[in-house]
Every structure is written in structure tokens, then in C-alpha cells.
Structure 1
Amino acid sequence: MINPKYTALLVIDVQNDFCSSSGEMAKKNKDLSYIEETIPKIAKTIDQCRDTGMTIIFINTEHQQYTDSQTWGARGEAAKKVCTTEWGRQLYKLELKRTDIVVSKNRYSAFIGTNLDLILRSNKIEHLLFAGFTTNVCVESTVREGFMRDYSTITLSDCTASYSDVEHKHALHILSNYFGVVMTWKEVFEKLTHRNNQDYLNASSNNLSG
């Protein structure tokens, strides 16, 4: 069983530059269809996680000239433009609540150069749920490092996506075999230990199937 008190949902890179048709990834001709169809599932999962009292952490990418090393910049000119503007860094179709936590990162992994680990340890978090984009880059990088820091990692297969289904499924295969487990949000929900309110459970279960 999973106790929400010791669990955090990490929502990774749901930002304009990664998701919007006016964002930098769209300008690179990336297929946003898998991203778009996943957004409503992420939004519903966030709401239901909040209802359990779970910690919600938004992981946002931002880049500035003083954080871009020569090695990092060698990814190409187009990559240098991602999340460099205020609009590009803004959340896409999601809203922050007062109780949510925001962590800004400059690399693929949300643990590199951030206070994420300190936040998790300070709140006695043991289990990490992962949602967001993209499965094969920033999600996978963060899951891998979280697992190697001895967190129990669960990648939500229905709340993550890539710019191609091949990349998404390949990442899930790697993560499920070597870096924790892969589950749907409904499967995780059924393992939560907040089952003291039957009315809430019945209502939430109905929402899961909606």
C-alpha cells in the first residue's frame, strides 16, 4: 500500500514551450498530439492527488545564458531557445494551488542543481509518482536519479507522453525493468491507504472511469 502522506506527485515540464502549438517544440515540427491527449489526464490526476493530501511538486525547466555550458549548448541552436522566455516557461493548461511546490531545473534531471531532494527528505517523502513530459527525456532522467537515491518510483503510463509513441513505450520499457515500476493512475489509486472515507472513494472511483 502507498500512504499519500509520504508520497509526492512530480509534474514535469508541462509548459508552453513543450506543449503549446506556439511553443519552441512545435516550431521544431514535433508531433504534439500525444502531449495534448495526456494533459486532461494529468489535470484530473493532480486534482485527485490533492484530495488525498498528497504533496504536489511542479518541475519546470528554465534556461538562461549563465546556466548553459558549452556542452549543454552543443545540443543545437534550436534547443537553446526552449524555456528562455517568461511565456515559454509558463504552465500549459494547468493551475498552481497555494499548497503546491515549484522546483525550477536547468537540466533534464530535476535533481541536478536543485533543492528537490532536500524538499523530499524534509517532508519525509518515500514514494514518487511521475507525470509530464517527455517520458524519454526529462521524466526518465528524473525517475532514474530518484530511484538511485532510494526513492520508490512509479511512472504513470497514462500521465506521461513523448513526441512519438515509440519513444514513450521504449522509455516505459526501460523504466519498468530497471528503475522502479510503471502503473496507470487508477492502479496507483487502488493502492492508496486513505480508504477511511467510503463516500470519497466511491466518488473518486467514478471519476477515474469518467
Structure 2
Amino acid sequence: MGKTALLIVDMVKDFTDPDGLVFYPQNREILPKIKRVLDKCREKDVLVVYLQHCNRKGKFDRKAAAMRPNCIEGSGGEEIDPMLPVEESDYVIKKRRYSGFFATDLDLVLRENDVKNVIIVGTKTNCCIRATVTDAFYLDYEGYVISDCVATNSETVNRVHLEDIDKYLGHVIDSETLFKMLDEGTL
């Protein structure tokens, strides 16, 4: 079956903290749910990978220039939310685009750890979650998006993208189903 990894996508202070540059309340709401998933995955020895949106300070980036400034290197806004503590065995992979796979070493890290299944939680279902799941699909990983552990700033947009992901790119399950699968050893 292969091993499983938990990918925590962009749960950084600029997105999760009320003082963050691109904060929205939905991210605050999913943090405790993601923490429960993180704890369960640690209990089951699932590899943990944080994907950290991080824009370079003082360097031009055409994509970043078209958006509100956020997650600037060294600002503190790019730091992982403290509710989700990073342990020494975890990976933290910086990214500058929506997909955690694009121009990063995520695929290499997963392959080096014999990962076949990826559990995906975090923010911006319509951008970063969807792009990461799409690339996971193209790279032949079995993707599991945890529906109560992802968010964007519109519930309608969130729901539409989860429906598409479930139909075309992977599996959309809730955290209770995930916990059952982990306990049964089916994931």
C-alpha cells in the first residue's frame, strides 16, 4: 500500500492570525481540527510535511506583485501558526506558487520516504489545496483532502472545489473517516 504523509498547506500567520495580511476567519476555525488530524497522524507515525508559502523580501516576483503583499520572508507572517508545532522529524518546504509540488523538492521528499498516499489539509481550497491535489494526482499519489480541515473565504467556492476534487482528482473525506481509516490501517 505504501506509506502516508500529511501535507499541511499554508497554515502560516498571514493566513491564520487576525493580524495577518490576508487573514480570514475560516482559517482560524479549521486550526483546531487540523491540530487533531496532526496529533492522530503523529500517533500513527505518518510523515508530516508543512508547505510554507513564502515570498522573497525585496525580490521581484511577477505572481506575488499581482497580489496583496503577504508571507514575506522575515516578516513573521510566513511562520507556521504556533497551534501546529513543528517537530524535528517534520519537513518544512517553502513554496512560491499555489502547488506544493511546483519548483520545490516535495516530490523527492515523498519518494525518498516511500509515500504513496497524501492527506491534505490547510488553506485556500480553490488555489493551493486544489493545485497541490492536482499535481499529486499527476504524480500518481493517492490524495485525501480532509473536508473539515480545508477552507477558503467563500463556503460556496470551498464546496464546489471539494466536489471537483472528489470527482476527478482524489478523495474528499472528513476527519472522522480519516481517523477510522488510520486506526484500521487502510491508509
| Cα distance in structure 1, aligned partners of 2:114 and 2:30 | 29
Structure with more of its chain in helix, by fraction: 1
Aligned to 2:15: 18
Query: 1:43-81: per-residue Cα shift (whole Å, max 9, x none)?
Result: 11101100000000000011115461x3x14524x2xx2
| Cα distance in structure 1, aligned partners of 2:64 and 2:129 | 20
Alignment of 1:127-206 (within 5 A): 127-192=117-182
Structure 1: 5+ residue stretches without partners: 27-31, 196-210
| Cα distance in structure 2, aligned partners of 1:48 and 1:192 | 8
Query: 1:166-185: per-residue Cα shift (whole Å, max 9, x none)?
Result: 12111101101110110012
Cα distance change of structure 1 residues 67 and 190 upon mapping to structure 2, 3 Å threshold:
farther
SS at match of 2:97: coil
Aligned to 1:50: 42
Alignment of 1:15-164 (within 5 A): 15-26=12-23, 32-64=24-56, 65-66=58-59, 68=61, 70=62, 72-73=63-64, 75-76=66-67, 78=68, 81-86=69-74, 87-92=76-81, 93-164=83-154
SS at match of 1:57: strand
SS at match of 1:83: coil
SS at match of 1:145: helix
| Cα distance in structure 1, aligned partners of 2:42 and 2:131 | 25
One-letter code aligned to 2:9: I
| Cα distance in structure 1, aligned partners of 2:183 and 2:4 | 11
Note if contact 2:118-2:141 (Cα within 8 Å) is conserved in structure 1: yes
Note if contact 1:12-1:132 (Cα within 8 Å) is conserved in structure 2: yes
Aligned to 1:201: none
- With normalisation by structure 2, the TM-score equals 0.91
Structure 2: 5+ residue stretches without partners: none
SS at match of 1:58: strand
Which has the higher Rg, Structure 1 or Structure 2?
1
| Cα distance in structure 2, aligned partners of 1:39 and 1:73 | 25
Matched, 1:9 2:23: no
Note if contact 2:55-2:64 (Cα within 8 Å) is conserved in structure 1: no
| Cα distance in structure 2, aligned partners of 1:142 and 1:102 | 15
Count matched residues: 182
- With normalisation by structure 1, the TM-score equals 0.81
Note if contact 2:18-2:25 (Cα within 8 Å) is conserved in structure 1: no
SS at match of 2:22: helix
Task: State which drifts further: 135-144 or 59-68.
Answer: 59-68
